[in-house]
Amino acid sequence: MNRKYLGYLFEVAWILPSVAVPIAFLVAIVITAFVVGIAVPGNVGRVDPKALSTTPPFDKPGLRELAPGRYEAVVTAQLFNFTPGELEIPAGSKVTFIVTSRDVIHGYKIENTPINMMVIPGQISRMTTTFDTPGEYYIFCHEYCGGGHHLMVGKLIVTPAKTASTNR
């Protein structure tokens, strides 16, 4: 084989993966977004973090039943806890979490669920999921927020259907 041909093969060996890898990433993103239905939670609104105690719905954080089997959980994050710290719902419930922060960047992650949000002061984050399996799900802050970060834990209790109270 001549040197020119080997140079051509070497060039093609680099060009093909350089084109194939970005195309594969694009295909993975399209499948994730449109086929699987995974979406990144985004900014659904703005709020003044200093005025949360007088701004609905954050002036009354907690769990509200909107319809049978549908709930809305309004949560505020602050150093070093979530308000409310514990929620209880019946199995099979669809819950929309509306979360914001009073002070610094926090995270809101419910273990073994797709709920995983960045909680930024002034920004309202919203995600919805259905809880079919009874049990206790821990809620934790996954963004370092200060010396008491490790204490920032909450709990979601999913009870067998028809036995849960709506707010704790």
CATH number at residue 136: 2.60.40.420
Claim to verify: residue 58 and residue 95 sit in the same structural domain:
yes
Count how many domains the chain has.
2
Q: pLDDT per residue over 57-99, tens digit each?
A: 999 999 999 999 999 999 999 999 999 999 999 999 999 999 9
In a domain, 24, yes or no: yes
Whether 33 and 67 map to the same domain: the answer is: no
Q: Check whether residue 92 and residue 32 sit in a common domain.
A: no
Instruction: State the Cα–Cα distance between residues 82 and 66, nearest whole angstrom.
Output: 22
Same domain, 101 and 136: yes
Clarify whether residues 154 and 105 are in a common domain: yes
Judge if 79 and 103 occupy the same domain. yes
* Token output for 112: 């073994």
Domain that holds residue 29: 1-38
Please tell me the predicted confidence (pLDDT) of residue 43. 66
CB neighbour class for 103 (10 Å; exposed up to 12, middle 13-18, buried from 19): middle
